[in-house]
Chain A
Amino acid sequence: MRLTALRKPTRLTSLRTRLASGDPPLLRTRLCAFPLAFLLALGLCCAPAWGIASSTTATITPTLLPDRLGAEGALQLVIRYSTDESAVPLPVRSTVLRFPIGLGVEIPHLRSCSPTRLRNHGPSACPTQSLLGHGHATAEAHVGSEIVSEGIDLTLFVGPFHNLQPTFEILGQGYSPFDERVVLSGTVRPDNPPYGEDLVLSIPPIATLPLEPDASIVSMSLTVGTAKPRHPITVNTIIVPPNCPLGGFPFAAEFTYADGSTGSALASALCP
């Protein structure tokens, strides 16, 4: 994963150097592709790639706002899962998300929120500077003869560094019929072109009732950054890559489902 200082993109090793020398962490930081990875992690799934092919498939629709190279703005990602074998897709247990080179996040003031704090006290307990985005998801589960559906509010935060690697936290908060919270944590690792970095995300089971199956995410929409002008410059935004490859900005994902089956997906965001 690429982490850069100020407006000059820098490799993550630069951050390591700063921390080792005792310099304060970046005040203005770019966290390339992390948020995107989280978004994708929640929902990407798809055509079988390795292992036992899954019966669950997914579609991904990324949208960059504004639609301009090098611009600061927002990324909206919509993911929908479906399955042919039952009305509810399989729960996702782990995901590896791949993001295009150059995609980043502008973070004027680097702050983080721990998953424990997020889980115990909710979004209001986190520094506002650590907020990266908002979204919504829908979870479903078979209980009895019914499919119970629940809306989930998503909030994305910068997480604490782990082994000098940035992390991200996604809080999922459902209210009815179950008032429950779940926190997803992700770590970043470098990838090969055309991808910049991967986000490795572990997704805990979303329990419903004892003896009943876990819930599955069937759709989600997450917006990272903001397309609105920043006054003052305090909110975090997405940085659209300065160059767009032929065919658009590439995204990919690999998924492992609760039954052990796997799948993968490719998607691209159109060039401006």
Chain B
Amino acid sequence: MTGRARLLCAGLLVCVCLLLAAAAWATETLTVNEAFTPDKLGAPTNLSVAAQFSSSTGAPPSPIAKLTLYAPAGLGVDARGTGTCDETTLRLRGPQACPATSRVGFGGGVGLIELPKEVIREPFTIDFFFAPREHGHLTLLAYASAIAPVAVEITVIAKEVPAPAPYGLGFSVEIPPISTLPGATLASVESAFASFGSPNVAYYETVHGKRRLVHLKGVVVPKTCPRGGFPTEGTIDFADGSTLTVNPTIPCPHG
């Protein structure tokens, strides 16, 4: 797999991971929807993933401790023209301090905070960035932020890991315990979504005093689609020691 492809896959994996993170509610039902927009083989695209937990008991799922995601083989990421953001800058100064060209994607969802007599649902957002490579491996940063009723800001690092067939790239991210209010459980996730890449992203750069527009391909749909669709996989390790593995499939493009 090329470096670009790895970057693309990495982005996808991170998205999927976050979504899968929501799947931490292992004892209940998890619905995952993934899509390419536009949906055309070999074309620049956006990868979107949405995950929703539903529970019959009403009890929040265990917090997520680790996510491991695998993207389909052939998925590409053309990172020409992109920048990077380092973890310290993102953690201390926030997403605004990162170069616009280092953005990989965006997302969000609803978190859960369990108090003795109630469960608080709190929306959160996620920003994804390219980070400098580590030992030649692709690295992504995810910045999760919630404002009210509990202000939370965490930065996690998603590192590239080997991917078994039929996947092309793997990513793994460890999520620290997120404490919120005195007497409350650690924060968990009810739903999450992520959106990576776009077919029409462009940035200005100045070369020899002249400003020019540079288009980024970003995420590129694989050139071929396996029968049954593009396979992905996510494994969620929960704080209570349980594990959940899901295998969402992205449908092949029509026509």
Residues of A at the B interface (CB closer than 8 Å) are 143-146, 175-180, 209-212
Contact = CB atoms under 8 A, between A and B. Distances in A.
A211 B200 contact: no
A169 to B, nearest CB: 21
Q: How would you classify the secondary structure of chain A's contact residues: helix, strand, loop or mixed? A: loop
B160 interface: no
Given A144-B125, A145-B95, A209 B202 contact: no
Contacts of B201: 177-179
Contacts of A211: 48, 50, 107, 193-195
A176 B212 CA distance: 11
A146 B85 CA distance: 15
B108 A177 contact: no
Contact of A210 (B35, B126, B200): B35
A212 B195 contact: yes
A220 B6 CA distance: 41
Most B-side CB within 10 Å, residue of A144, A176, A179, A209: A144
Contact of B198 (A144, A146, A178): A178
B139 to A, nearest CB: 19
Nearest to B127: A144
Most A-side CB within 10 Å, residue of B37, B106, B198, B200: B106
Given A144-B127, A145-B145, A178 B107 contact: no
Per CB-CB distance, the 6 closest pairs between chain A and chain B, nearest first, are: A144-B106, A210-B48, A144-B127, A145-B125, A179-B202, A143-B106
B46 interface: yes
B202 A176 contact: yes
B137 interface: no
Given A143-B106, A209-B46, A210-B46, A177 B143 contact: no
B127 A146 contact: yes
Contacts of B203: 176-177
Contacts of A210: 35, 37, 46, 48, 195
B241 to A, nearest CB: 31
Q: How would you classify the secondary structure of chain B's contact residues: helix, strand, loop or mixed? A: strand
B131 to A, nearest CB: 16
Contacts of B126: 144-145
Contacts of B204: 175-176
Contacts of A177: 100, 103, 201-203
B215 interface: yes
B195 A175 contact: no
A177 B204 CA distance: 9
Given A145-B145, A209-B106, A175 B202 contact: yes
B56 interface: no
B206 interface: no
23 contacts: A143-B106, A143-B195, A144-B105, A144-B126, A145-B94, A145-B125, A145-B126, A145-B145, A146-B96, A146-B127, A176-B202, A176-B203, A177-B202, A179-B200, A180-B200, A209-B46, A209-B106, A209-B195, A210-B37, A210-B195, A211-B50, A211-B194, A212-B195
Contacts of A179: 200-202, 213, 215
Contacts of B143: 144-145
Nearest to B47: A210
Contacts of B103: 177
Contacts of A209: 46, 48, 105-106, 195, 198
A79 B46 CA distance: 33
A70 B103 CA distance: 52
A6 B193 CA distance: 59
